[in-house]
A and B are shown apart, each in its own frame.
Chain A
């Protein structure tokens, strides 16, 4: 499949994530949208990794081009997991205090 399809798919997922972050008010859903953005990036990295491998394969049969793209994906997954643990802890902390996970609720509460 041509690389463009992968780029379009990733950008579509990424845009859905961005719109979700900007529009939704539930902290958990905003959080899921951020994860969607990260996973769109993972998909794109894998597609590019394969593309670079295939290009390099034409000139060199034993090429290792493209491996670093796949390695990067592992790092993104690990960091995303660390972020989830901290982020959910923050959301739980907020829920304990105000019994809501609405992002705008705190703003209203202050005034």
Chain B
């Protein structure tokens, strides 16, 4: 609750700070302070301290799980601003407004982590994506950015329309917008029309697949991620995408029983298609940014495992996956922004000129690929373990396919490492500040910490 209120208020504060100062460094520091405040406000919720007590009429159901997801999302944003804040203010001449929009996105994210009503699902998704359309198009003179913004906007609005149709059909069958109450309608008082409900859930599922860029509906992702300014791609691919997954899991943890067998078959097809498309296409990419876009589709496939299993391991696992994936991707993009040439050849010989950048970049890529001793390994482990625990005829095949595609992903992640360490060349970077190096080291340290002791992160959850 605190997080929702504070993120909206602090967003407004950021907008006003743009009037008072045009100093880019000052704006970045204000954003860091505001994010820290937001983090503290959210942590206060863990300890049952509320700024305002509001009766939300079952629109929200706040839980420790949701608070913990907020903590992860806000911490990831804090690290993200810490490491690439200088590049955010450099995108255009509206530094403070970009940060304000990031706060509004966080407001949507925090709504999605605690919603209990389809109305809040809709509002959360819209509050999250509308600022993102602006951020995508923030490089106004760049045609790639224009195209990405237009494409993202049209696809986003289109999928919102589909989701609304699903919500309307669900409303028709149940008479309310709660996400739990649909199953136990009192017989006789309301008309029960199961076919409407099934179609409605399918519509919502399709639109959510759009939002998290899973396989049959992923086609917008590479263009949008490639065209958007790299700093904002980093934000879109990590925090926003994870929030989409939390929303998806919250909804279908309650609803999927009603779909029965159809649901499992559908989900298995979606998971396999997502892994296949994401990994195989990523292999052929020459641009690192585009490769990361496809690899984010592949990682989405792994996160969908949690939706298949829906048990406790999956719930913990998705948090671990979110943090591991967000940290590694934020770090990778932070280095990518500093590179002059975004193709894989642009990384040639980086280890000679910038040994620290190359070393941390390798740790991030190890984590993305799921090599042991990094957070990514346990994230993938939790996902696969949860599927095994759930069982079912498809579980074994899913795990085998998951492991196979994890092996494929090693190939394209290691191409970058190979370029950095084993190829001759002079990788050109823009100016690297000591602060930037320090931030990278912090992220790398966290990744290794969670890789050695994943319990530290999950233990925090149960404090």
Residues of the A chain whose Cβ atoms lie less than 8 Å from the Cβ of B126: 79, 82-83
Docked complex Cα distance between A110 and B145 (Å): 12
Segment of B148-156, B341-349, B351-359 engaged in the interface with chain A: B148-156
Known: A68-B177, A86-B153, A97-B146. Is A55-B189 also a contact (CB below 8 A)?
Answer: yes
Known: A34-B157, A79-B123. Is A87-B133 also a contact (CB below 8 A)?
Answer: yes
Within 8 A of A (CB), among B130-184: 130, 133-134, 137, 140-141, 143-144, 146-147, 149-150, 153-154, 157-158, 160-162, 164-165, 167-169, 171-172, 175-177
Indicate the member of A34, A48, A75 with the most B CB atoms within 10 Å. Answer: A48
Whether the Cβ atoms of A83 and B149 lie closer than 8 Å is no
Count of CB-CB pairs between chains A and B under 8 Å:
117
- Whether, in the assembled complex, B404 has its beta carbon less than 8 Å from a beta carbon of chain A, the answer is no
Residues of the B chain whose Cβ atoms lie less than 8 Å from the Cβ of A16: none
Docked complex Cα distance between A111 and B133 (Å): 24
1/0 contact trace for B343-378 toward A, CB 8 Å?
A: 000000000000000000000000000000000000
- Whether, in the assembled complex, B119 has its beta carbon less than 8 Å from a beta carbon of chain A, the answer is yes
Beyond the given pairs A72-B119, A79-B126, A106-B150, 16 more chain A to chain B contacts, judged by CB atoms under 8 angstroms and listed by A's residue number, are A30-B154, A38-B160, A38-B161, A41-B164, A44-B165, A51-B191, A52-B190, A56-B189, A65-B175, A68-B119, A72-B171, A83-B130, A90-B146, A93-B140, A94-B147, A109-B143
Interface residues of B (CB under 8 A from A): 119, 122-123, 126, 130, 133-134, 137, 140-141, 143-144, 146-147, 149-150, 153-154, 157-158, 160-162, 164-165, 167-169, 171-172, 175-177, 189-191
> Would you give 13 A-B contacts (Cβ < 8 Å), ordered by A?
A10-B168, A21-B158, A37-B165, A38-B161, A52-B190, A71-B119, A82-B126, A83-B157, A87-B157, A94-B147, A94-B149, A97-B143, A110-B147
